[in-house]
Amino acid sequence: MQNEQVSIHRPRIGVLTSGGDCPGLNAVLRAVAKTAYWQGYEVFGFEDGFEGLIDPIRYRKLTPQNTQGILTMGGTILGSTNRGRFAARVGVSGRAEIAPELIKKVSATFDELKLEGLICVGGDGSLSTALQFHEAGLPVVGVPKTIDNDLSSTAYTFGFNSAVLCCADALDRLHTTAASHRRVLVMEVMGRHTGWIALHGGIAGGADVILLPEIPWEYDNILAKIDERKQLGKEFTLVVVAEGANLPDGSMVASGEASGNLQTRLGGIGHVVTDELSRRIKQEVRCVVLGHLQRGGGPTTFDRVLATMFGTHAVRLVLQKKFGQMVSFDPPDIVSVPIADAVDSIRTVDPNGSAVMSARALGINFGDTPGYQNPFPIPE
């Protein structure tokens, strides 16, 4: 779209949404626009993530008026991409360097538009790009976004709660059909390197088996759980598996090869597990892959509040010139941490953590034991 004519008298802040979309992005944009307005700033929203910063520059002015009503909307009005010239994440913690000429062009955009700061909303890959901007001397701040909830240095990222609700709702629906037909139903959910969605969604939706990247598992243990349920008079079983969970032989299931700076596309483990269980038991086994349903739709009330607080405090960081920082949720407060700390490593599920212990106490099986594992042993 054509760049809008704007006043040269008010200082300017840029904002962009990068990486995979998720519920809550529009809530951040609304919060940035409204907060900046009351602080006397104009906001330029760059389209299609970092790509909108150069060749050609694409932005729109964000105001309280044109962001009205987007609080509850899913997706992002600015568009987003996890591909292109600015991809900076390879694997779990690998970093690809952004070409110096690209950073020079971005710096020229900052000068041309007289930006006093750029708010980058994204996950570990997008924040790795933002970190390189900061290292080059550009005034940037970060806002953590990922449905996987795997970013270090923040208790929660917005989008996660909404994704868990999607999983729980799906399990609620699968429960009735599985019980009616006495089936084993396998549901594959997102989670590249961590099992937060599978764990919380599985607990919330009453799963019987949860397979995570953090806990090695065996098919025999799943079969033992299915038999255990039959002995209790329960002729159906719900299995939740994270797309990034390793198979018993240690391999991962991918749906596409990696190319350039992009990570390997995962997906398909649900069908692999379904086929193997079908081969081993006479009971009917079916697979459901939630896929991008977990990214779509409007944000939950929790994500609306969290995204709004992130947006307002990101503006605060720009005003205070705390560049190279990322807003972080340290309940009940919104604080800031260095972007470098946030992308240095991912936050994984603790196999001995409270959530896993609670699940085990309910009898949920993680595929690592053939029967009930008491998480609360009483000392002798």
Instruction: Identify the DSSP state of 69.
Output: T
The angle subtended at Cα 168 by Cα 163 and Cα 171, nearest 5°, is 130
Active-site choice (21, 48, 148, 150):
148
Q: Angle, to 10 degrees, between the axis of helix 354-361 and the axis of helix 196-205?
A: 30
Q: What is the DSSP letter of 241?
A: E
Task: Please count the other Cβ atoms lying within 10 Å of the Cβ belonging to residue 182.
Answer: 13
Helix (H, G, I), strand (E, B) or coil at 100: helix
b/e map 99-111, b = 16+ CB within 10 Å: eeebbeebbebbe
Q: Is 148 a catalytic residue?
A: yes
Q: Is the backbone peptide bond immediately before 139 cis, with ω within 30 degrees of 0?
A: no
The two structure tokens encoding residue 121: 């909303």
Q: Other C-beta atoms within 10 Å of 181: how many? A: 13
- Of 117, 129, 124, the closest CA to residue 86 belongs to 129
Measuring CA to CA, how many Å separate 304 from each of 24, 72, 155? 6, 7, 16
**Rounded CA gap, 21 and 24, in Å?**
9
**Chain centre to alpha carbon of residue 125:** 11
DSSP letter for each residue of 158-171: BTHHHHHHHHHHHH
Give, in order, the Cα–Cα distances in Å from 285 to each of 159, 205, 228, 276, 278: 30, 19, 17, 10, 6
Q: Give the Cα separation of 247 and 211 in Å (integer).
A: 10
* 287 burial level (CB within 10 Å; 0-12, 13-18, 19+): buried
Catalytic positions, written as ranges: 148
